[in-house]
Amino acid sequence: MSDEADANRVAGWFGDCYGRQPEGVWQAPGRANLIGEHTDYNQGWVLPFALDRGVLVAAACRHDGMLVIRSRQAPGEPATLPLATVAPGRVTGWAAYPAGVAWALREAGHPVGGASLAIDSTLPQGAGLSSSAALECAVALALTGLYGLDVPRPDLAILARRAENDFVGVPSGIMDQSASLLCQASHALLLDCRSGEGSAVPLEPAAAGLALLIVDTGARHALGDGRYALRRGECDQAAGELGVRCLRDVADAAAADGLADPVLRRRARHVVTENHRVTQAAAMLRAGGLAGAGALLSASHTSLRDDFEVSWPEADTTVDAALEAGALGARMMGGGLGGSGIALGPPAPDAVRAAIGGRYAPLGRPAPGVLAPPPPPRRRRLPGARRPCAGRGRGGSEALLGVDGQERSRTAERQLPHAAWPARRARQDRRRPAGKHGVRAPPADRRALDGGARRPPSGARLDAHPDYVALGLRAGAQSPR
């Protein structure tokens, strides 16, 4: 993903739609999951990493209390919603995801007001790469950034999940939103889904002479069709019969053998063994032994296919082809029954790619899309603002002044002296506890704030904060127009 080109593109489209410049562009990535499937809602462990693709949101405040949402991936009339009446069940279709985020923020007491949003994405939808969470998280960053709200990222992940669970109605776990907001470049996130604690685990396949391939099998899942909820119910039932709160509390796979129902036995066995595989894989990565994780990926696939029964034909084909072509391990990824697979490849991923394509051809199907592996370590650079900035809200967020004079005077009223921002931010950072994730979560607009007082002249760029892949930036992307 090219931050600058993508940000400029969505900023330009915002201008076309709304006849003004956006106040900023925010981006949140999709995710792949190295290992740990159907463990999140069982309060176990997962090991996702951010992708070099995501959802971008160009946004500006509105003062009429309306939320106006457009997506390039959903052509047609925008969703135009009076914020005060936005509630679960009142918004359907794709717009429920961004509307749900505004609702969850307001329900939590964050004073989010009206906004115009223009959404663009470089992620396939329904491919198990978490386009829904990337959409929620990018909107969450945009709304909190626009209104200067300093919501720690772990809390923001919980609110974004609430949008998906309670507003859209998909009973997903916390993994996707946590991965989108908390992943760091060149690291996976070992997330304990019970405590919410996460830690960064080095993941640099290229440095190990390896490649991670993410394969969009082309088969689309439909999480709303009830099968996901069915699996969740089966896990709850298995936990109940084993006398534990949830399957995370079953330490030994042999305990699952005590279940009378063979279906529940298989479901429980998958969850218990998958939790072990996740912690083993994280230990291997920490010890620099990524290659050893290959066997764990393949074991995960077998377990998901045979015990949890959520694999699908294209995923099995992809895994078989990858292994035959020399991959060290491969598995289906995501909730299952459609979506993507992941293969830990040898140094020549093209051979794996060709082998997978070769297996699809006799089926009369196009070769599946193979996404780029996670990005190498780098510091991202984003376009800087072109105008002086103004503070808004308690976070002291800076803003490009709106093109309309009204907004300019409104924001100017609350403008903080630029030189005071870094000192104030440093004080806030010292007060903010290190948090469960072992890192101080910077506020959504941290990088822009850091650059605020030092902001170079028009057209220059800011270095983005290297901690997170999701860019909670008030970047003030320049419209190419």
Residues with catalytic function: 176
27 vs 130, beta carbon nearer ligand ADP: 130
259 vs 337, beta carbon nearer ligand ADP: 337
78 vs 202, beta carbon nearer ligand ADP: 78
* Count of alpha carbons within 13 angstroms of residue 46, beta-carbon side: 28
Minimum distance of Mg ion from residue 164's CB (angstroms): 7
Taking CB within 5 to 8 Å according to partner kind, which of Mg ion, ligand ADP, none is near residue 119? ligand ADP
Minimum distance of ligand ADP from residue 19's CB (angstroms): 22
- Cα→Cα distances 28→215, 257, 304, Å: 20, 41, 28
Give the closest residue to 204 by CA, choosing from 53, 319, 344, 54.
Answer: 344
Minimum distance of ligand ADP from residue 136's CB (angstroms): 9
Under rule CB under 5 A, residue 177 binds Mg ion = no
| Total binding residues toward Mg ion, as defined by CB under 5 A | 1
**Per-residue binding letters, 435-464, with ligand ADP (x by CB under 6 A):** ------------------------------
Q: Return the residues of window 166-225 that contact ligand ADP according to CB under 6 A.
A: 223
- Record the tokens describing residue 182, joined without a space: 């908390």
CA gap 411, 421 in Å, rounded = 16
21 vs 132, beta carbon nearer ligand ADP: 132
Minimum distance of ligand ADP from residue 385's CB (angstroms): 25
Whether residue 390 contacts residue 415, with contact meaning beta carbons closer than 8 Å, is answered with yes
27 vs 180, beta carbon nearer Mg ion: 180
Cβ count within 10 A of residue 392: 25
Minimum distance of ligand ADP from residue 225's CB (angstroms): 10
135 vs 159, beta carbon nearer ligand ADP: 135
For the chain, the 3-state helix, strand and coil shares in percent, each to the nearest 5, are 45, 20, 40
Taking CB within 5 to 8 Å according to partner kind, which of ligand ADP, Mg ion, none is near residue 279? none
CA gap 147, 449 in Å, rounded = 14
Under rule CB under 5 A, residue 33 binds Mg ion = no
Minimum distance of ligand ADP from residue 120's CB (angstroms): 7
Using DSSP bridges, classify how beta strands 24-33 and 48-61 pair: parallel, antiparallel or unpaired: antiparallel
CA gap 462, 450 in Å, rounded = 9
Minimum distance of ligand ADP from residue 107's CB (angstroms): 21
Q: Can you spell out the DSSP letters for 324-387?
A: HTT-SEEEE-SSSSSSEEEEEE-S-HHHHHHHHHHHHGGGT-PPPEEEPPPPPS---EEEPPSS
Among 14, 26, 45, 94, binds ligand ADP (CB under 6 A): 94
Under rule CB under 5 A, residue 411 binds Mg ion = no
**Per-residue binding letters, 40-59, with ligand ADP (x by CB under 6 A):** ---------------x----
CA gap 165, 342 in Å, rounded = 26
Beta bridge partners of 363: none
Name the strand (E) or helix (H) holding 79.
strand 74-82
Whether residue 221 contacts residue 338, with contact meaning beta carbons closer than 8 Å, is answered with yes
Please write down the HEC assignment for all residues of 106-167.
HHCCCCCCCEEEEEEECCCCCCCCCHHHHHHHHHHHHHHHHCCCCCCHHHHHHHHHHHHHHH
Minimum distance of ligand ADP from residue 133's CB (angstroms): 6
Minimum distance of Mg ion from residue 150's CB (angstroms): 27
Taking CB within 5 to 8 Å according to partner kind, which of Mg ion, ligand ADP, none is near residue 121? ligand ADP
38 vs 269, beta carbon nearer ligand ADP: 38
CA gap 237, 349 in Å, rounded = 42
Under rule CB under 6 A, residue 71 binds ligand ADP = yes
| Total binding residues toward ligand ADP, as defined by CB under 6 A | 18
CA gap 411, 470 in Å, rounded = 26
Under rule CB under 5 A, residue 132 binds Mg ion = yes
Taking CB within 5 to 8 Å according to partner kind, which of ligand ADP, Mg ion, none is near residue 128? ligand ADP
223 vs 390, beta carbon nearer ligand ADP: 223
Whether residue 444 contacts residue 472, with contact meaning beta carbons closer than 8 Å, is answered with yes
124 vs 402, beta carbon nearer ligand ADP: 124
Whether residue 168 contacts residue 93, with contact meaning beta carbons closer than 8 Å, is answered with no
The region of 124-132, 144-152, 352-360, 471-479 touching Mg ion under the rule CB under 5 A is 124-132
Among 17, 66, 74, 244, binds ligand ADP (CB under 6 A): 74
Name the strand (E) or helix (H) holding 25.
strand 24-33
Under rule CB under 6 A, residue 33 binds ligand ADP = no
Q: Return the residues of window 108-167 that contact ligand ADP according to CB under 6 A.
A: 119, 121, 125-132, 135
Interacting residues with Mg ion (CB under 5 A): 132
Interacting residues with ligand ADP (CB under 6 A): 55, 71, 73-74, 94, 97, 119, 121, 125-132, 135, 223
